[in-house]
Homo-oligomer: A and B are copies of this chain.
Amino acid sequence: MLRGEIMNTIQDVAHEAGVSVATVSRVINNNDNVSTNTKNKVLKAINKLEYTPNLLGRNLRKKRTYKVLVLVPTLSNEFYSEIVRGVEDVASKDNYYVMVCSTHSNKETEKAYLNMFYNQLIDGIIFTAPEMSGEEMMDIANKYPVIQCSEYIRDSEVSWVSINNYQASYDAIKYLIDIGHKDIAIIGSENGFVSSIKRQQGYMKALQHNNIKINNDYIIQTNYEYEDGINGCIKLMNLEKPPTAIFCGSDAIAVGVIRQLTKQGIQVGEEISVIGFDDTNFAAYYNPPITTISQPRYEMGKIAMELLLRKINNIKCKNEYIILDHKLTIRESTITE
């Protein structure tokens, strides 16, 4: 390795400036008990040697890494990238580095990242779609700073920030009813996340409150990908009485649904309504643009990081359960009155 030779240490600076390493350290860390004179000498030496502190040494000493991990199920979903932006903006103010890693929705992979706690490589984790059980989550949270963001585990007493998925779903269905629909289907997930369950509850309640009978054929449990939308759509349209509106648990599902409907020659936004979830960037640019539930992703990330910082500074600080506002964004995939 060449690196060792070219990096100057605090000792080199001390030697160059003709002071002790302690003094150099004081200057670096802005401990004010140092005279302007020596301070200048040190600064000059730092400049001359192009010195930057070795954070490995500092962190070892401080027993902090100034790094946090954001665990996402997949990097290829821009829903999460907006959350990360929020996290980064808060983190950078406190000189924290943010690492983003993907679990690929795999419990083992998720577990592997917990090793970074044991190895003391990170100070905290933000989970966006935890795979572990509530019990495991609480075990971790007792020992290490963790926050749940967006997705969270039911019955786990571990801080989270999310939206009211029940209400969001309710609002979407209510809107469909208002514009004249009665035969409304839902394509959701069977992943067991709170969000999925609550979205289904919102769907049911909205129908009930409007005296519409629940048709089990209209409820499809699958996953959140394009292909799931296609398959779900095929099933629904093969029914004796197909729905006139389809509420989807993700924008990706909505894309699959619309694609399939178009393929079958059905005009989305005229003959049938489709609603997505998340308002990922492409929703506005799909053909037709997709009506969807907007989540305050950036804000969620910011708050998650703020909560995490609090936990890092005091693992025993009390848990917070924060609900942010959602919004129904109406575009052309739903029939206009």
Contacts and interface: CB of A to CB of B under 8 A. Distances in A.
A121 B2 contact: no
A143 B3 CA distance: 7
Of A75, A84, A101, A226, most B-chain CB atoms within 10 Å: A75
Interface string A275-287: 0000001101111
A201 interface: no
Copies in the complex: 2
Contact of A287 (B2, B59, B98, B287): B287
Interface residues of A, number: 58
A321 B75 CA distance: 27
Contacts of A47: none
Contact of A256 (B52, B63, B285): B285
Given A3-B144, A75-B78, A53 B119 contact: yes
A7 interface: yes
Given A55-B121, A121-B56, A75 B65 contact: no
A59 B74 CA distance: 29
Given A56-B56, A118-B52, A120-B54, A1 B63 contact: yes
A302 interface: no
21 contacts: A3-B144, A53-B119, A54-B60, A55-B120, A55-B121, A56-B56, A57-B60, A76-B81, A77-B78, A81-B102, A97-B116, A98-B101, A99-B100, A100-B100, A226-B281, A226-B282, A255-B282, A255-B286, A256-B285, A259-B285, A287-B287
